[in-house]
Amino acid sequence: MFFQHVYDKSLAQASYFIGCQKAGVAMVIDPKRDVDTYLEIARQNNMKITHVAETHIHADFLSGARELAALTGAKMYLSDEGGPDWQYQFPHEGVKDGDVIKMGNLTFEVIHTPGHTPESISFLLTDHPASSKPVMLFSGDFVFVGDVGRPDLLEKAAGIKGTQDLGARQMYQSVKKFAELPDYVQVWPGHGAGSACGKALGAVPSSTVGYEKVRNWAFQYPANESGFVQYLLADQPEPPKYFAMMKHLNKVDRPLLTEVPKQKKLTTAELSANLAKGVKLIDARNKTDFAAGFIPGSINIQGNNAFATWAGWFLTYEEPFMIVASENQIEDLTRKLMRIGLDKVVGFVDNVTEWAAATGQQLETGKVISMDDLNELKQQNNLQLVDLRGAAEYNAGHIKGAEHVFVGTIEKNLDKVSKDRRVVILCQGGDRAAIAYSVLAKHGYHNVLNYSAGMNEWVNKGNPVISEN
């Protein structure tokens, strides 16, 4: 058997390439959309991708299953579980609980594991003839290392009321089914630490059934369904805005993108013309470089591992946009964007000072303050302190007097930020505050100061915090 774990750090998403070397065939489970990765693995190992499988209709990334099938001729094996509302709306090989997919000397038993979603399935792999016993479970968003998939996304992200409690109770039953598997079976989940598909995912890429039964919180409620449900639903992170669109696009027939687009480098004149038409400009530079000088109206979303997630909060699927980034960075950013279906990139520029020189317009600068500055400002009566972190982070501990406005929803909550008082914004380490600063500047807030060092410095220096828990 050939096996390769493919991990996308930008979305903390795992996919799997499993091959039968004797037959020269392979399956890819939960592929990302830039599928050239799997084609190259197949080429290097003299294999043909004949099977593509998915564990569920994904909400956090745009699946590349259809792109990969179109390029290779592989059959898609997708869940037919979950009822009529949870069926894929394009041709595929439907599978249900107990079905067995054969590929060379390998077999994949389908196990229906609802909870995260109604149609969720896992694949139990047996490597024949080496053994008649299963060796690996590809669990998707069902069981993670140290956690299980959240059941609230359908309600919170897709707006389907009344689904989270039912999903949590389905997850409880699925966990009991998982616990019956042999302890030695390796568990390869769909996500790792940093994913918004759970709240306590471990950074280790894989586990075993036995290890999870001992260490995973979800297995500590053997006779307490209500306690399990309560804990599972509590303190889940805010689901990114783009999740609802992913759920839709992964279910319906859609246009395919079978290669990574090449982005156009815009001239200063093209940049200016697009800005005049209201085309959004995403500045992917480091927050420090952005604060030193940025084009008015641009939004600072740093081109790090969180780039796609935050872009999904501030971009829509209908509007075109431009990017500020270096030439050696733009392909990576394009891949990150296409993984969540944000394809309407008009082009990019790599130098904001050239725009300023050519147009005669001034760049704006960020106002970053120190902890000493903050403590001095806190003595004044006209200060508003805004904490931009997630609700669970804020509730766990924040600076006394700080008001909570989650950065992802700040454009919908501009009325909660004063234009008349001095405003200081902060997050954990400055990245989210940089986003918020740029968004507020775009909307005419010129009274904002950024305590960029944030709660990391505040706590490390021994300053007090208060909790809402």
Give the burial class of 469: count Cβ atoms within 10 A of its Cβ; 0-12 exposed, 13-18 middle, 19 or more buried.
exposed
Q: Are 351 and 284 in contact (CB under 8 A)?
A: no
- Rounded CA gap, 11 and 50, in Å? 26
**With 80 as the cut, is the pLDDT of residue 469 above it?**
no
State pLDDT tens for residues 217-276.
Answer: 999 999 999 999 999 999 998 999 999 999 999 999 999 999 999 999 999 999 999 999
Helix, coil or strand: residue 425 = strand
Query: Of 162 and 265, which is predicted with more confidence?
Result: 265
- Rounded CA gap, 217 and 276, in Å? 53
Q: Are 213 and 145 in contact (CB under 8 A)?
A: no
Q: How far is CA 154 from the centre of its chain?
A: 15
Cα end-to-end span (Å), the chain: 50
**With 70 as the cut, is the pLDDT of residue 287 above it?**
yes
Q: Are 98 and 110 in contact (CB under 8 A)?
A: yes
Residue 42, strand partner residues: none
For the question of whether the overall pTM of this predicted structure is more than 0.85, the answer is yes
Of 122-131, 140-149, 153-162, 390-399, the one with minimum mean pLDDT is 153-162
Q: Are 86 and 71 in contact (CB under 8 A)?
A: no
pLDDT of residue 15: 98
- Cα–Cα distance list, 379 to 15, 190, 382, 385, 463 (Å): 52, 48, 9, 12, 15
pLDDT of residue 114: 98
Interaxial angle between packed helices 225-233 and 163-179, expressed in degrees from 0 to 180 and rounded to the nearest 10: 120
State pLDDT tens for residues 321-348.
Answer: 999 999 999 999 999 999 999 999 999 9
Average pLDDT, the chain: 96
Q: Are 178 and 222 in contact (CB under 8 A)?
A: no
pLDDT of residue 155: 87
Per-residue pLDDT band for 361 (boundaries 50, 70, 90) equals very high
State pLDDT tens for residues 44-103.
Answer: 999 999 999 999 999 999 999 999 999 999 999 999 999 999 999 999 999 999 999 999
Query: Mean pLDDT, to the nearest integer, of 208-213?
Result: 98
Query: Mean pLDDT, to the nearest integer, of 98-116?
Result: 98
Q: What domains, with CATH codes, occur in the chain?
A: 2-249 (3.60.15.10), 268-359 (3.40.250.10), 371-460 (3.40.250.10)
Give DSSP secondary structure letters for 110-178: EEE--SSSTT-EEEEEEETTT-SSEEEEEEETSEETTEE--S-HHHHTS--TTHHHHHHHHHHHHHHHH
- Rounded CA gap, 32 and 338, in Å? 9
**With 90 as the cut, is the pLDDT of residue 160 above it?**
no
Query: Mean pLDDT, to the nearest integer, of 350-359?
Result: 97
Per-residue pLDDT band for 144 (boundaries 50, 70, 90) equals very high
**With 70 as the cut, is the pLDDT of residue 465 above it?**
yes
**What percent of the chain lies above the pLDDT cut of 70?**
100
For 178, list phi and psi in degrees, rounded to 5.
-60, -40
Per-residue pLDDT band for 162 (boundaries 50, 70, 90) equals confident
**With 70 as the cut, is the pLDDT of residue 360 above it?**
yes
Give the burial class of 102: count Cβ atoms within 10 A of its Cβ; 0-12 exposed, 13-18 middle, 19 or more buried.
exposed
Query: Mean pLDDT, to the nearest integer, of 185-210?
Result: 94
Q: Are 147 and 207 in contact (CB under 8 A)?
A: no
Residue 30, strand partner residues: none
